[in-house]
């Protein structure tokens, strides 16, 4: 029987690794590390660093694989994602088969936590035969963002909503909430909103040496964040950022 352990590793700071994560990595026979192209090699580097730091036995094999690239040109977004999940599942299966003979424990180091904007659980359920699936929770980028700004996420007794940049741009401010967390924003979707009464808490490369934090009234900070984001992206070749918007009366 194959066990697949999806281990949340936090979102950039190796100190966010929990003791449960360290234990799960050490009990694996095989750790899979995805390569996402040269521009995002820092992300694979963090996973390599974690393995080098926490592995106490040389019984655990490490296998890197090239993550298939999603066809962004696919007309139907969901169909495109579906095909991509199939391709990733096939790549996992091939990589596992090269190292294990149908049984053992495979670990995947998942950015942040596997439950939040991550498809590993959906992909794992496509494997045939279906492995036993285990999850070790990790610190999410939302927690890292709130901690970095020392910000309580919800207002007293109030809900919040987590969404993507694309959805915020397409549908505007969501109904029924005054606090919105925005992730996966390839641009700066907050620019599509009327900034009156809105405050923003923005963070890029959270938990990493180059972490950038900016916050204030959206009307004052919006264009400054756009510039800082563009400069940082040019410097690194990639950027990962998230933000919280709050509507004040």
Ligand X SMILES: C[S@@+](CC[C@H](N)C(=O)[O-])C[C@H]1O[C@@H](n2cnc3c(N)ncnc32)[C@H](O)[C@@H]1O
Q: Least distance (Å) from ligand X to the CB of residue 217?
A: 21
CB atoms within 10 A of CB 70: 15
Question: What are the angstrom distances between the C-alpha of 105 and each of 4, 147, 230?
Answer: 6, 33, 41
Task: Single out the residue of 65, 68, 81, 117 in contact with ligand X (rule: CB under 6 A).
Answer: 117
* DSSP structural state of residue 215: E
> Binding of ligand X at residue 12 (CB under 6 A)?
yes
> Binding of ligand X at residue 168 (CB under 6 A)?
no
Task: Single out the residue of 113, 136, 168, 212 in contact with ligand X (rule: CB under 6 A).
Answer: 113
Q: Which two tokens stand for residue 171?
A: 């549908």
Q: Which residues pair with 204 in a beta bridge?
A: 212, 241
Q: Least distance (Å) from ligand X to the CB of residue 16?
A: 10
Task: Single out the residue of 34, 109, 205, 246 in contact with ligand X (rule: CB under 6 A).
Answer: 205
> Binding of ligand X at residue 112 (CB under 6 A)?
yes
Q: How far apart are CA 229 and CA 223, in angstroms?
A: 10
Interface segment toward ligand X; rule CB under 6 A; list 22-30, 42-50, 56-64, 107-115 = 107-115
> Binding of ligand X at residue 202 (CB under 6 A)?
no
Of residues 104 and 137, the one with the C-beta less far from ligand X: 137
Residue 137's Cα: distance from chain center in Å? 13
Of residues 14 and 104, the one with the C-beta less far from ligand X: 14
* Torsion on CA atoms 244, 203, 216, 142, rounded to nearest 10: 30
- Beta strands 104-110 and 61-66 are unpaired
> Binding of ligand X at residue 162 (CB under 6 A)?
no
CA geometry: angle at 44 spanning 38 and 47, to 5°? Answer: 170
Q: Least distance (Å) from ligand X to the CB of residue 58?
A: 29
- Name residues contacting ligand X, limited to 174-193 (CB under 6 A): 183-184
Interacting residue ranges for ligand X, rule: CB under 6 A: 11-12, 111-113, 116-118, 140-141, 183-184, 203-207, 240-242
């Amino acid at each position: 029987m194959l066990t697949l352990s999806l281990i949340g590793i936090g979102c950039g700071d190796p100190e966010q690794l929990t003791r449960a994560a360290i234990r799960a990595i050490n009990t694996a026979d095989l750790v899979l590390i995805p390569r996402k192209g040269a521009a995002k090699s820092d992300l694979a580097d963090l996973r390599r660093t974690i393995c080098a730091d926490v592995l106490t036995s040389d019984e655990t094999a490490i296998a890197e694989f090239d993550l298939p690239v999603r066809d962004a040109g696919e007309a139907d977004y969901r169909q495109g994602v579906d095909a991509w999940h199939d391709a990733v599942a096939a790549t996992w299966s091939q990589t596992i088969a090269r190292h294990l003979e149908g049984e053992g424990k495979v670990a995947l180091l998942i950015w942040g936590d596997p439950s939040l904007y991550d498809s590993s659980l959906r992909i794992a359920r496509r494997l045939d035969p279906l492995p036993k699936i285990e999850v070790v929770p990790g610190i999410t980028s939302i927690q890292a963002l709130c901690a970095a700004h020392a910000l309580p996420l919800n207002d007293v007794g109030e809900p919040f909503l987590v969404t993507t940049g694309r959805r915020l741009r397409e549908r505007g401010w969501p109904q029924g909430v005054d606090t919105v967390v925005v992730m996966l924003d390839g641009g700066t979707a907050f620019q599509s909103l009327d900034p009156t009464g809105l405050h923003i808490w923005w963070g890029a490369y959270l938990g990493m040496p180059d972490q950038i934090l900016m916050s204030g009234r959206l009307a004052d900070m919006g264009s400054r964040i756009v510039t800082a984001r563009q400069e940082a992206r040019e410097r690194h070749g990639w950027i990962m950022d998230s933000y919280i918007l709050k509507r004040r009366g």
